[in-house]
Each structure stands twice: as structure tokens, then as C-alpha cells.
Amino acid sequence: MTLDLTSSSVDLTRAICDIPSVSGEEAPLADAIEEAVSALPHLEVIRHGNTIVARTSLGRPQRVVIAGHIDTVPINANLPTRTLDIDGVPHLWGRGTVDMKAGVAVQLKLAAEITDPAIDITWMWYDNEEVAASLNGLNLLSADRPELFAADFAILGEPSNGEVEGGCNGTLRAMVRTHGVRAHSARAWVGENAIHAAAPILTRLAEYRAKEVQVEGLAYRESLSAVRIGGGVAGNVIPDLCEVEVNYRFAPSKNAADAEAHLRGVLDGFEVEITDAADGARPGLDAPIAQQFVAAVGAVPRPKYGWTDVARFSALGIPAVNYGPGDPHLAHHDEERVPLEQIDAVERGLRAWLTAR
């Protein structure tokens, strides 16, 4: 399919959403993006797997990376897209409209139209964001072509309701285990019930009061939650193992080691195995270029509670924010939909900043 970059951001959103690109199946959309941007003489285009990079090289004193992922979670009878009127507000409905093809559509339109930006721009459209970090196109590109990440600021088009969300919380997952002794359930006293032994874990988590942590003027709300529990052998057997999976979302003032120490303190006395951890990202809104961006788009910065790829830029020392159309509460939802005006508003905001002299 050929993408028409002269069409409106709304029409472009519809076009790229209607090209299915579930994680691992992004090649057709990547091909369409590469074909479209390769026709633009003011951009140098680089392809790395199914990640497309397009750069201006105008010798500007500053450079921004503007990135968006092109994959979606699996489709569930929510394509092709369609327009809905909800309480008098027109929306575009369908998989990817929120997370995050509306943001990608805005980026593609501006990449085509802004030929003389006030700062140099590196546009990045990458694959496999919704799956393992080992497959993430942004992660793989940074390992193979780190020079492409040289920048003073980064913007990720994750859905933020058209507001600026600074940085992001970190995330840590752990498996907490209790052990027992198997026995016939008719003679339960012969064994030791590992599921019963897990009750204090759930009590501590239920009684835990998450903190709100101020980081560079933004209040990041933490959470510590049981997200899965498993145990049991058969309907007549006392279980000898119970596992509680726990997810800790921690403010970007902590690193993963701090988060692990805190979790182990809360669950002291239990066997804890850390299974996954990723540092968050400080908002970086004290950087002059970030302040100029916030002023240009007329936003009041908010914290990002979920983990996003802004953390990859933060790890490289690049201040980064989330800025895109769509309600993050509707990301991955089967009723995913974005207000048309929000797509246009994000386009206006980015255009104003990128062309301001």
C-alpha cells in the first residue's frame, strides 16, 4: 500500500491503522513508510530491520529525536477503522488508533512537510515495542547504530491525551514463593500447605500504601501489586509450592537496585526472585530545550505512570517526554479510539515548536 503524506493526519492515521502490523508482522507497514519517506529529498533515510530512520542534516545547533512504534497488540475484530460520534465528538475507532499510530501519522505528515525546521530532526519509526526488549527495534538500533541517537532532546509519540508527560516510572517484577510438604488432603495435618503460607504475602501487599514521589516538580505515583498467583497439584493434594508474581512501579528517583531493595524489605522473610526490571526516566524538563517545547505546545507537564521507551533515551543522557494523541487508558482496549481533534492538536503543537524561530 502507498501512503499519501499530503493527506491529513486523520486520513493518514486511518491508512496506517488499516495496514495490520501486529508485533513481528510490521514489514508491510515498514515498507510503506520507507517508500513514502524515501521520496522526500530533504531527508536521509536509513532502514534497520523494520525500523525506519529519516534525518535532516541542516547544521542546526540542536537536534531532536522524534520516535514512534509501528506495531500493535493483536487485532480482535477491531479493523478496519471507522469513524464514530461519541457524545457529539468525532473519533477514529480501531486497533492502533491510540497506541500509537495516530502519533506516527502526525510524525509522518510533519516529516514530509517541514523541510526547513528550526532544529535538526531525527525521525524514528520502530518495530516490536509491544513485546520483549530483545526484539525492540529502538533497542536494537541503539546497539548497532548509536550515532543515530545523538540528540539534545527526544519526544516519544506515546498516547498522552495530547498533553506532555515527562519521563516515566520504572518497573520491576518478582516471583515470591512459599514452600510446603505434599500430603493427601484427607490427612492435611500430615503436610504443610504452601498456599496457606502465602496469605501473609497477600496481606502485606493489600495493606501496602503506595507513595507519591516528587521528581523535578512532577508527582509520580508508585504501586506495588500482586498480578498473578499459582499453586496446587490436584484437587486432593496439599500443595508444596505457591508462587505470587508481584509488580512494583517505582518513581524515576529510584533505580532498579533501589526498587529491589525496597521490595525485599516489604516482603522480608519470603523467597523473592527478581524476574525483570527496567529503570524509569527522569522527566528532564529542566533542560532549556524541553522548556521551549512545553511552552510552544502550551501544555502543563504531567508524570507518566507507565514505563515507555523514553527510558531508553534517558539512559543515554537525553531528556525525553511522551507527547501524542489518544487516551492511554484505551491503549490495547478492544474499543480503542482517538478524538479527531486531538490528532490535529498534536500536529499543531509539534509543528509550532519545530518551525519556531
Query: Of 26, 127, 129, 260, which residue is the catalytic one?
Result: 129
- In tens, the pLDDT along 73-102 reads 999 999 999 999 999 999 999 999 999 999
Place of cell 464514530: 84
Cross-strand pairs, 93? 82, 337
In this structure, are residues 113 and 4 in contact, taking their beta carbons and an 8 Å threshold? no
| Residue 323: closest CA among 128, 191, 161, 111 | 161
Residue 290 is predicted with a pLDDT of: 93
Q: What is the mean pLDDT of residues 112-134?
A: 95
Place of cell 496469605: 199
The rounded mean pLDDT for the chain is 96
Please tell me whether the overall predicted TM-score, pTM, comes out greater than 0.95 for this model.
no
Judged on CB neighbours under 10 Å (0-12, 13-18, 19+), 88 is exposed
Residue 80 one-letter amino acid: P
| Residue 324: closest CA among 119, 108, 115 | 108
Q: Enter the C-alpha cell of residue 149.
A: 541517537
Residue 25 is predicted with a pLDDT of: 97
Which H or E element spans position 63? strand 63-69
- In tens, the pLDDT along 173-220 reads 999 999 999 999 999 999 999 999 999 999 999 999 999 999 988 999
Q: What is the mean pLDDT of residues 309-314?
A: 92
Residue 182 is predicted with a pLDDT of: 98
pLDDT above 80 (res 241): yes
- In tens, the pLDDT along 16-50 reads 999 999 999 999 999 999 999 999 999 999 999 99
The SS3 of residue 345 is: helix
DSSP-assigned letters across all residues of 131-176: S-GGG-HHHHHHHH-GGGG--SEEEE----TTSEEESB-EEEEEEE
Query: Of 34, 71, 127, 279, which residue is the catalytic one?
Result: 71
- In tens, the pLDDT along 266-306 reads 999 999 999 999 999 998 898 899 999 999 999 889 999 98
Q: How confident is the model at residue 132 (pLDDT cuts 50, 70, 90)?
A: confident
Residue 357 is predicted with a pLDDT of: 74
Q: How far is CA 157 from the centre of its chain?
A: 9
The yes-or-no answer on residue 344 being catalytic is: no
Q: How confident is the model at residue 133 (pLDDT cuts 50, 70, 90)?
A: confident
Judged on CB neighbours under 10 Å (0-12, 13-18, 19+), 187 is exposed
Residue 95 is predicted with a pLDDT of: 98
Residue 286 is predicted with a pLDDT of: 87
Encode burial over 129-151: b for 16+ CB neighbours within 10 A, e otherwise.
bbeeeebbbbbbbbeeeeebbeb
Q: How confident is the model at residue 68 (pLDDT cuts 50, 70, 90)?
A: very high
The yes-or-no answer on residue 71 being catalytic is: yes
| Residue 40: closest CA among 28, 52, 50 | 52
